[in-house]
Structures are given as structure tokens and as C-alpha cells.
Amino acid sequence: MTDLTQAAMLATMPRSSWRARLGKLAPFLALGLAGLAFPLLGDSYWGVIVTRACVYWVLVAGLNMVVGFAGQIAIGWVGLLTLGAYTTSAMTAGTAMPAVSPYLALVASAAIGGVFGLIVGMPALRLRTFYFAMATLGFSTIVTQVALAWKSVTGGGIGVPGPVFGWPFVGDWGFYYFCLLLAGLCTWMTANLAASRFGRALVAIRDTEVAAESSGIAKPRLLMIVFLFSGALAGVAGGLFSSLQSYITPDAFTFDLSVLFFIAILIGGRGSVLGPLLGTLLLTALPEIAAPLVAWSTFLYAALLLAIVLLVPGGIADLLDFKNRRPLEQHREIVPRPELLMQLLHGKRGETLSLSGVSLRFGGVQAISNLDLDVRREEVHGLIGPNGSGKTTTLNVISGYYAPQAGEVRLGKVILPPQAPQLRASERIARTFQTPRLIGSASVVENVMIGGTIDGRGSFIESLLTLPRHRRDEAVLRERAMLALLTVGLDQLAEVRADRLQHSELRFMEIARALMLQPACLLLDEPAAGLSAEEIRRLGVLIKAISRTGTSVLLVEHHADLIFDICDRVTVLNLGRVLAAGTPDEIRSHREVVSAYLGA
């Protein structure tokens, strides 16, 4: 990186000062200090309530990764709490085996909770929304029925005594500090995860799964890891819950409890750690504050959820997001810096993209018919035609979203497998979409960093514990993302929420995200739609510069002037067939093209 570029980045990159970092940590530090000082009040009754809140948060912290970040509707997570509670109690009471230490039993509960979390979560790979919710509820019902029937281990309807944790956490306040310690550890781990490439990938799956796949994010593998982690925390919470209850029966694990966990995340705000933490504290204390209305607890939960949805759709997290309430500068200009492309792409050479005899039919409609297309490196290849001619369908075949019935797609000498969009990123094929795909609750720079997810080397555990390789990954990804934003002219908006950007800015943000892959081939789907004339001109200069770094660019666009100004070759489709192919001058004068598409 040149001195000039470093100076430009330092001048424009938002700096995370110690005050900004302290501002983010302040709420957690305040809650931690309050928790540590709470026993000084000497109120044993409220001590039990706060201990219960800590236990609930251990479960909700993991569930938040599933519901708040990954967007899966998992209502029946109380089943894993039940499983952890009975595992710990049975192992310490010696009803299933010789009695063991409560701490060892708690570790076993975490392991069993993780295994069953994975089993319960696997339907999410095929089931969506409420179907998955019903599957989790079904699991919680099964666990309760097994607990009732397996009397020799669980005591059936009579129940089984919970464990008593000994040294170093002796007595009620000792157990309180143990729960507070675990709650703090879970908060730290989930906050680390949220700020990692894995956390960003989860939110990308939730908000824009198509863009996540195009960035190389493998949804099944990531969700399985998260379900394992969340299940382990639920198992630990179950073990703590059994000790808090002293004696557990199936009646302790009600549907209301499951609703509490789920609603705590919704009112806290999806994609936040602090919001659901505050939501858990609020919902745990609410029945005690409104004790005369205990019979109406479900109604109170529903009313609170309805109020949040109607008044503050983003939940508590949105109420606390003061930074994004500041007005943005009006009349903003996008000024790309194409001269930075060589540093961003490191002079990587592209490959020729080839389609040979590709055909695709949807029922009785022939979307693409025997299409041959070569997109050479260092060239911009335009793909034009009337609506319904098969342009975006062609991009979807190249991207792996559709499998052609005939023909093949190659990048250089590599045959691209059909219907494997998450594998395209590893071949350095990047794309943008007709409608900008963004994570609205994330900042612009975080949206762009998603494009480099596959380049991270740190493991899930390393991110969870913020180990050195994870920190190096984050530093490298952020630096590249800032350079990408500087290149497309959005560096001043790096820390702004993406859903506050103008349409034209979202277009350039998507290009920045695609450039994070350092693409061998870049697919652009109508990037000029909704842009002003000057923005289109600047976009054209940027696209041309991208191709000259060695990248092959396939451009689908309705702005004929842009196509003819920057493209080296143009292919015209009509009803899925190639109507004409050649240089821009040849296409301009082609009689059939003029008649079918360009007009007089």
C-alpha cells in the first residue's frame, strides 16, 4: 500500500478511540458491577430472582445466536433446559449411575445439551419459519413425556432433588456468584461471536441468504455449529436451574418459560447482545413486580411484545442506538477512486468465464436455449435484451442458483458445479443483484466485510474466545473493507447503518462487497438502475477500471449508453437465445437488435 493511500485511509477511516470502546463496554461493566455489589443489599428474596435472571440469561445468550442472529424461530428451547436439569440432577443424585460432583455433572449437561441442540437444530436446514418452531415445540413435549415415564431415573411426576454446589461456591450467595460468573462468561463469548465473521455470517443468512451464499457462507455447517453451542449453554442453564429449584418435576418446565426466552430476544432486538440481556432481566423481574397479576403473565408478555413491535420494532437495542439517530449530511456525492483498485485486488489475474451449450427450461418456458458465451479477462462483456430474455437467469446459472438441463459453465479450466452457489466464492466469482441485498441493522463497513468471510482463518472457537488469529482476521478484513469503501467512494459512511443509505449508495456498497473477494470474475446485475447520469458515468469508469486490473466482468444492464460506452463485447439475448454478439459498434448497427431491443 502506498504512502498516499495510507494517508487517505487514515484521513477517512473512523477511529475507534478508547472512549468509543469504553462507551460500548459501559453498559456491560455497569451491569457487572451492580451484580457483584448486589449481595451487599442482603435481600435474599431478590437474590433468588437475580440468580434466576442469570440462569435464564445463560440459556438466552445461546438462543440469541439462533433466533436473534441466525433468524431461526426456535420456541421450544425449554426442552434443552429440561434435559440439562435432569441430567445434572440424575448424575448428582445417583439415580442413573454412581453419584458424581455437581460441577462434573454440569459439564456432562453441557455436552448432552450440545448434542441434542444439534439434533433439534438439524430440521432448520430444511424447515423454515413456523415449521421449525413446531419441531422445537415437539421436542420439548417429548422430553417432558420421557421425564414423566422414566421414573427410575427422573422420579416421574414426583421428581428428583437438584444438586447442591460445593466449594468454592458455597451457600446461596456463593451459588449466586457462580451463576453471575457463568452469565458474564456467556455475555463475553456471545459478544465476541457477534463481532466476528461468524456473527456477521449469521446475520447475513437471516437478512439476505442469497447474498450470504454468493459470499461463500455455507449455511448448513455454520448453523450446525451454532446449534451445538446454543444447546451446550442451554444444558448448563438447565443444571443451574435444577440447583436453584432444589427439587425438579416436569411441571417446572412450562410453555410460559419457553415463551419468556423467545420474547426476551424479540423485545431486546435482533442482532444485539445487550438488548436481549436487558430483555431477560426485565421479563424475569416483571412477574415479581406485578405479583397480583401472576395469572396474567402470558397476557403481560404478549402485551409487552405487541407494544415493542408497534412502537419500537427494533426493540431495546434500537432505543439505545443513539449514534444512528444523528442526521446524515444531505446532498452526498459518490466519488470513486479507481486508482486504488490495484492495491485492493493485489493485481490478481482473472480467468475467462465460458458457457457452452447452456439450456434451461422452467416448465413450458425455455428460459435459456443453447447459450454459448465467453467473458474474457480484462474485458467488460455486456449482456442485454428485452425483459424476460434470460439475462438474470444466465447470471443465476453462472452463480449456481439454477442447474442447467444441458451444457456447462467453466471458469478457466474449472467446471463449475450446478446448484452450489456457496462454492462460487472459492473460485473468486462475485456478483451484485438487481435489488441491493443488504443487512440493514449492520453498518456499511460490516456489510462490506461479509464479502471477505471466506478469507478468515480463525476457527469458531478462536472467535468465541477472541484469540490472536481471530483478532488478526478482523484487523485484515476491516482494513480491506475500508480500502474497498475508499475505492468506491463510500468511506465517509463506513460506520452508518446500511439501511440509512440512499439507493445509489447501496449500489456502490454492493460493488465494494463484491470486490472484497478479489474476484476473477465479477457479475453485475443492473448496477446503474436508479442512478443519476453523473453517477452512471462514474460507475462506468469504475467498472472499466476493474476489468483492466485483470478481472473478467459480465454486465447486465438496460442503460444502452453505459453498455456501448464501456463494453468490449456485447451479447444480445431474446427469448433465451442469442440474437447477436459482437463489438458495440456491430451491435448498434445490427438490424434485428435495433428492431427487437434498441428501437429507432
59 and 136, same structural domain? yes
Q: Encode burial over 581-595: b for 16+ CB neighbours within 10 A, e otherwise.
A: beebeebeebeebee
362 and 268, same structural domain? no
Q: Is 12's pLDDT higher than 50?
A: no
> In this structure, is residue 19 part of a structural domain?
no
> In this structure, is residue 592 part of a structural domain?
yes
Q: Which of 58-67, 293-302, 339-348 has the weakest average pLDDT?
A: 293-302
Domain span including residue 431? 338-440+519-598
Compute the distance between CA of residue 569 and CA of residue 276 in angstroms, rounded to an integer: 53
Q: Which of 350-354, 426-430, 463-467 has the weakest average pLDDT?
A: 350-354
Among 288, 319, 350, which residue terminates a domain?
319
- Three-class DSSP category at 152: helix
Task: Dump pLDDT digits (tens) for 95-107.
Answer: 878 888 899 999 9
Among 237, 253, 269, which residue terminates a domain?
253
Compute the distance between CA of residue 409 and CA of residue 419 in angstroms, rounded to an integer: 12
Contacts of 447 (CB under 8 A, 6+ apart): 438, 439, 498, 509, 513
Q: Is 294's pLDDT higher than 80?
A: no
Query: Which H/E stretch holds residue 525?
Result: strand 521-525
572 and 554, same structural domain? yes
269 and 248, same structural domain? no
> In this structure, is residue 168 part of a structural domain?
yes
Which residue reads 428474596 in cell numbers? Answer: 45
186 and 311, same structural domain? no
Nearest by Cα to 452 from 481, 495, 488: 481
415 and 544, same structural domain? yes
Q: Is 380's pLDDT higher than 90?
A: yes
Between these two residues, 201 and 596, which has the higher pLDDT value?
201
Task: Dump pLDDT digits (tens) for 319-340.
Answer: 887 777 777 888 888 999 999 9
pLDDT of residue 13: 46
- What percent of the chain stands above pLDDT 70? 93
> In this structure, is residue 311 part of a structural domain?
yes
161 and 212, same structural domain? yes
Find the radius of gyration of the CA atoms of the chain: 28
Task: Dump pLDDT digits (tens) for 230-271.
Answer: 999 999 999 999 988 888 888 888 887 888 888 889 888 888
Task: Dump pLDDT digits (tens) for 135-186.
Answer: 888 888 888 888 888 888 887 878 788 888 888 888 888 899 999 999 999 9
Q: Which of 189-198, 418-427, 503-512 has the weakest average pLDDT?
A: 418-427
pLDDT of residue 8: 44
CB 222 within 8 A of CB 198: yes
pLDDT of residue 53: 93
Task: Indicate the DSSP class of residue 293.
Answer: G
> In this structure, is residue 333 part of a structural domain?
no
292 and 175, same structural domain? no
Among 211, 229, 253, which residue terminates a domain?
253
72 and 160, same structural domain? yes
First to last CA, the chain: 49
> In this structure, is residue 165 part of a structural domain?
yes
CB 295 within 8 A of CB 248: no
> In this structure, is residue 26 part of a structural domain?
no
Task: Dump pLDDT digits (tens) for 101-132.
Answer: 899 999 999 999 999 999 988 887 777 777 88
Mean pLDDT, to the nearest integer, of 577-582?
A: 88
Tally the residues of the chain.
600
Task: Dump pLDDT digits (tens) for 63-87.
Answer: 999 998 988 888 888 899 999 999 9
pLDDT of residue 293: 61
Mean pLDDT, to the nearest integer, of 452-462?
A: 91
Angle between helices 503-515 and 468-488 in degrees, nearest 10: 130
Task: Dump pLDDT digits (tens) for 519-559.
Answer: 999 999 999 998 999 999 999 999 999 999 989 999 998 88
Which cell numbers hold the place of 8?
Answer: 487517505
369 and 240, same structural domain? no
Ramachandran angles phi, psi of 559, nearest 5°: -80, 100
234 and 357, same structural domain? no
262 and 249, same structural domain? no
- What percent of the chain stands above pLDDT 90? 41
Label residue 290 by pLDDT band (50, 70, 90): low
pLDDT of residue 508: 95
Compute the distance between CA of residue 55 and CA of residue 273 in angstroms, rounded to an integer: 16
pLDDT of residue 291: 61
pLDDT of residue 4: 42
CA atoms within 13 A on the CB side of 519: 33
Contacts of 478 (CB under 8 A, 6+ apart): 445, 449
Mean pLDDT, to the nearest integer, of 49-66?
A: 93
Task: Give DSSP secondary structure letters for 332-370.
Answer: ------GGGHHHHHTT-----EEEEEEEEEETTEEEEEE
- The domain total for the chain is 3
Task: Dump pLDDT digits (tens) for 467-503.
Answer: 999 999 999 999 999 999 999 999 999 888 888 899 9
